[in-house]
Structure 1
Amino acid sequence: MSSGDSISGDLPGSGWRLVLLVDESRAQRRALAVQLRRAGYDVLEAAGVDEAMQICATRHPDIVISDWGTPGRNGLDFCHQFRAMARQRYGYFILLTSRTDKLDIAAGLRAGADEFLTKPVSGAELLARLSASERILRMEESLRQTNLQLKDALTRLREREAVIERDLREARRLQQGLVRERDGCFGPFQLSLLMRPAGHVGGDLVGFFPIDARRIGLFALDVSGHGVAAAMLCARLASLLAGTPEHNIAMRLGRDGRYVARPPVEVVRSLNKLMVEELRTETYFTMIYAELDRVSGQMRLVQAGHPHPILQRANGAIELIGNGGLPVGVFETVDYEEISLQLHPGDRLFITSDGITETENTRGESLGMDGLEAILRTNAMLRGNALLESICWSAANFAAGQRNDDISAVLVEHLADAPGNPDHLRLQ
């Protein structure tokens, strides 16, 4: 180092830095060490690579200043080994050399050197290199601290996700429990239900309940949106539609003290009023509510924005039922239309959410009502849950296994070969 080029003053924040000097020349090391300590650095010295590696393994210097031509192995070998060491923080490596050839400099950079100092070392140039190393080390420390914080935050997030995942699995189990019976036989009629959420929990709900000795209430609804909010509304609606008579919105107390069925139109109007005036949520739902007379085969239903029920006659002919209607919970005053239809032996009524009809293939084409009708015709010989499973399989095959919406369905079948005892009611 030039005698007139001493480093004076402290480098901001450098007092805690540990510098390792590696040079076979004791005089050169001493000259550099004096300047570095004067600048506020802690300094260690090594005469060769082996000694330097032992120090690096135990003390982990922040900055290494190594001569290119150290004994035994040169500075490039040392730089390679230094970079291969497992360290918790970055180490800045400066090579001292009298070489100026570009190929030598390129070799040093490939070995992992950060800077080069030409011998004899100028104090002003060393100060500049150390200032650069401070900026690099501070940035690395800031990034490392940020990464640690991010890692900690990610760990906490994963722990919370695991808790949420367990809660959602339990919520799915509870939601599936809202459908107490998956199928039921009512004289000559068989009812079958399907509910498949796209995620852990969904916004679809289906069900049925006995009204009296000859009538059954059944419903299918699809809450707007997905996830927990939709599932919570489904749970609320399930308590209103499938509870005991005193809590079932489809029933009212008659003058004789017995509970009687409310007309389907009145049921849907009451639900609309509840949504608009009491729940006051931005969520709405589509719905089919129907009342089936298992003796006469007469059915009365209301369509409130839900996809058209499909009536498949015994001879295979297909009819779309309803005129659409408005969803429940959108407008304060809505006129709903009650539809009457007759189910004859061999007929069946299929009610589904739009999760099936809006299923898309890889080209973005929807299955639609035409596709659903084709599936029903193809599976004309199937009944009950076998038919519902086949429809689900066909829809999944159409979509190449992709499903983005909940699927639910109600199947009402008038079995021509079933016993028709009007005084007998059996749930399976």
Structure 2
Amino acid sequence: MHPDRTDISDPNASGATLQRILLVDDSAVQLKILAAMMRHWGFEVWQAESGAEALALCEEIAFDAVLSDWMMPGMDGLELCRQFRQLPRDSYGYFILLTSKNERGAIVRGLDAGADDFLTKPVSSDELRARINAGARLLSTQRQLAETLTKLRRAYDAIDRDLRQARTIQEALVPRRFQRFRTASVSLLLKPCGHVGGDLVGMFSPDPTGVGVYCIDVSGHGITSAMMTARVAGYLGGDFPDQNIALERRRDRQMSFCPPRVVAMRLNQRLSADPGVLEYLTMAYLTLELGSGLVTLVRAGHPPPLLIRADGSMEFVGVGSLPVGLLADARYEETRLSLAPGDRILLYSDGMTEARLSGGGMLDDHGLIALVRECLAARGTEFLDDLYWRLSQLTPPGHPLEDDVSAALVEYDGP
């Protein structure tokens, strides 16, 4: 039926969020009484004399509220309520059952069917007005929440776009995963646990005689850590040697490596001197002389690199020192070792050894050695990808790694 319309003289009384009301009753007299009250209060009113007719109207019009008699021939009010709740809607619809039933079991059945409120017949105008106002408050709250959710979704989408762009920028910090240096090769792996991460790996070579390789883990997670990695990448970049704190210009105007301990000290001084930097970082950094196989290593709070000999034997190497950025006057020690043809050395972040496993506990050093042993036949990036895949298979299903994972693999072929 067409609605009986009356201008709303008091929008606050009727509730601007509750306008369109459907009245359902097989009694024409009851419909006329309820419609008169609703029109007087300023609502737009539709009428239906059966549940089937009411359901057909509900499929075409999104009513704000439905007042339905419980006892009707054919489809009663309880079944109408059930089917009303199954209709696709963009907003919530308030449903009131009019009934002469006041026993607890009837109310329970009505609530199970999806009813929001009940009115006992004969209907009191004051009580009906109070129940309508209660429904208006509920709809107002629901719509405010929906508007807030929409705003939050828009904000989330904007943040998500920014984070995806930030990830693209961070991935650009590691432009290549593999590079050959005469008698050696270096492979890199960087796997953030979120959009962006606080790990960083890299390599650079100022001349044909050597290569520098680093693996860094900034404290914390997220955007702040990612910004720190971008800053550190600028200090250790290979594209602009004059700006790389790990390099210095010799008298012949050629660039050469600074001792790794000096590099750690310089980086520590820069981070400690900045009052706006609250984060610290751990670092494993080495230089490799390509002719002799001599490795000079500094380990600043970072997990000890794993030396993998050509015969398959392994050992953790490197003297531990303080993380970078904790104390301005920190000092760092170096470790020297020689690589023979076929030897490899693996730098990695604690996201690997501290990964949570399905059976409980962490991977730890022994687990890392076991995983590496399974990957020994692979080389280069294939070795790192295989190592990461095997690690991911040990974590709980459906639960990604909780920390960033990074690694750098140096493989020495010998002169």
TM-score in terms of structure 2 length: 0.78
Deviation at 1:258, TM superposition (A): 4.4
Look up the match of 2:406: 408
Name the SS for the 1:278 alignment partner.
coil
CA distance, structure 2, for counterparts of residue 412 and residue 59 of structure 1: 67
SS at match of 1:201: coil
Alignment of 1:2-13 (within 5 A): 13=13
* 1:426 aligned partner: none
Residues 33-182 of structure 1 aligned to structure 2 (within 5 Å): 41=41, 49=49, 77=76, 81=80, 89-90=93-94, 92-95=96-99, 114-117=118-121, 129-182=124-177
Whether the 8 Å contact between 2:199 and 2:406 is mirrored in structure 1 is yes
Distance 1:15 1:174 in 2: 51
CA positional deviation for 1:400: 4.3
CA distance in 2: counterparts of 1:184 and 1:304, whole angstroms: 25
Mapped contact 1:203–1:223 kept (Cα < 8 A): yes
Tell me which amino acid in the other structure corresponds to 1:299. V
Summarize the Cα distance change of 1:21–1:212 in structure 2 as closer, same or farther, 3 Å threshold. Answer: closer
- Matched position secondary structure for 1:238: helix
CA distance in 1, matches of 2:26, 2:184: 97
State the alpha-carbon separation in 1 of the partners of residues 108 and 371 from structure 2. 70
Structure 1 distance, partners of 2:128, 2:168, is 59
Which of 306, 314, 319 is 2:315 aligned to? 319
Residue in 1 aligned with 2:296?
300
- Tell me, in whole angstroms, the C-alpha distance in 2 between the residues paired with 1:336 and 1:133: 80
Look up the SS of the partner of 1:163 in the other structure. helix
Check 1:136–1:363 CA distance in 2 against 1; reply closer, same or farther (3 A cut): farther
Tell me what 1:3 maps to. Answer: none
Aligned partner of 1:187: which letter? Answer: R
CA distance in 2, matches of 1:201, 1:193: 17
What secondary structure, in the 3-state scheme, does the structure 1 residue paired with 2:274 have?
A: helix
> Of residues 264, 271, 289 in structure 2, which corresponds to 1:268?
264
Query: Structure 1 residue 149: deviation in Å?
Result: 1.6
Flag the 1:21–1:230 CA change in 2: closer, same or farther, 3 A: closer
Q: Is the 8 A contact 2:51 2:80 kept in 1?
A: no
Q: How many angstroms apart in 1 are the aligned matches of 2:394 and 2:321?
A: 28
Displacement, 1:370? Answer: 1.0
1:336 aligns with 2:340: no
How far the C-alpha of 1:415 sits from its partner, in A, is 1.6
Distance between the aligned counterparts of 1:107 and 1:236, measured in 2? 63
Q: How far does the alpha carbon of each residue in 1:124-165 deviate from its partner, in whole angstroms, 9 at most, with x for none?
A: xx6xx4433333322221221121122122222222322322
The one-letter amino acid paired with 1:346 is G
Structure 2 match to 1:4? none
8 Å Cα contact 1:36/1:43 also seen in 2: no
Structure 1: gaps spanning 5 or more residues: 1-11, 119-125, 421-428
Evaluate the alpha carbon distance shift between residue 51 and residue 67 of structure 1 in structure 2; reply closer, same or farther with a 3 A threshold.
closer
CA distance in 2, matches of 1:413, 1:314: 10
Report the equivalent of 2:214. Answer: 219
What residue in structure 2 maps to residue 372 of structure 1? Answer: 368
Q: Which runs of 5+ in 2 are unaligned?
A: 1-11
2:344 and 2:412 in contact (8 A); partners too: yes
> Number of residue pairs matched?
388
Q: Is the 8 A contact 1:252 1:260 kept in 2?
A: yes
Encode CA deviations 1:236-270: one digit per residue, 9 max, x unaligned: 11111014111111123445554443221111111
> For residues 413 and 258 of structure 2, what CA distance do their matches in structure 1 show?
27
Q: Distance in 1 between matches of 2:105 and 2:182?
A: 95
Corresponding residue of 1:9 = none
8 Å CA contact 2:296–2:337 kept in 1: the answer is yes
1:24·1:47 contact (CA, 8 Å) conserved in 2?
no
Distance 1:108 1:256, change over 3 A: closer
Question: What is the alpha-carbon root mean square deviation over aligned residues?
Answer: 4.2
Paired residue for 2:284? 288
Measured at CA, do residues 140 and 285 of structure 1 come closer, stay the same or move farther in structure 2, by a change above 3 Å?
A: same
Letter in 1 for 2:205: P
Q: What CA distance in whole angstroms lies between the structure 1 residues aligned with 2:159 and 2:15? A: 48
Q: Which amino acid is 1:213 matched to?
A: P
Residue by residue over 1:338-373, the C-alpha shift from the partner in whole angstroms, topping out at 9 and shown as x without a partner, is 111111112111111111111221222211111111
Residue 240 of structure 2 corresponds to residue 238 of structure 1: no
Percent of aligned pairs sharing the same letter: 33
2:180 matched residue in structure 1? 185
Q: Report the CA distance between 1:20 and its aligned residue.
A: 6.5
How far is 1:319 from its partner? 2.0
User: Is the Cα contact below 8 Å between 2:191 and 2:406 reproduced in 1?
Assistant: yes
Letter of the 2:207 partner, please give it: D
Letter in 1 for 2:265: R
Q: Which has the larger radius of gyration?
A: 1
Assess if the C-alpha contact under 8 Å between 1:53 and 1:82 holds in 2. Answer: no
Residue type at the aligned position of 1:140? G
Contact conserved, 2:15 with 2:133, CA < 8 A, in 1? no
Q: Counterpart of 1:161 in structure 2: which amino acid?
A: Y
CA contact (8 A) 1:19 1:42 kept: no
Is the aligned partner of 1:390 residue 2:386? Answer: yes
Q: 2:346 maps to which residue?
A: 350
Distance in 1, matches of 2:319 and 2:173, equals 29
How far is the alpha carbon of 1:13 from its aligned partner? Answer: 3.8
1-side partners of 2:70 and 2:387: how far apart? 77
**Counterpart residue identity of residue 409, structure 1:** A
Relative distance call for 1:296 and 1:149 in structure 2 (3 A) is same
**Mapped partners of 1:383, 1:250: distance in 2:** 28
- Out of 374, 377, 382, the position equivalent to 1:381 is 377
State the one-letter code of the partner of 2:203. Answer: F
Deviation at 1:198, TM superposition (A): 1.4
Alignment CA distance shift 1:36-1:134 (3 Å):
closer
Whichever residue aligns with residue 381 of structure 2, its letter is N
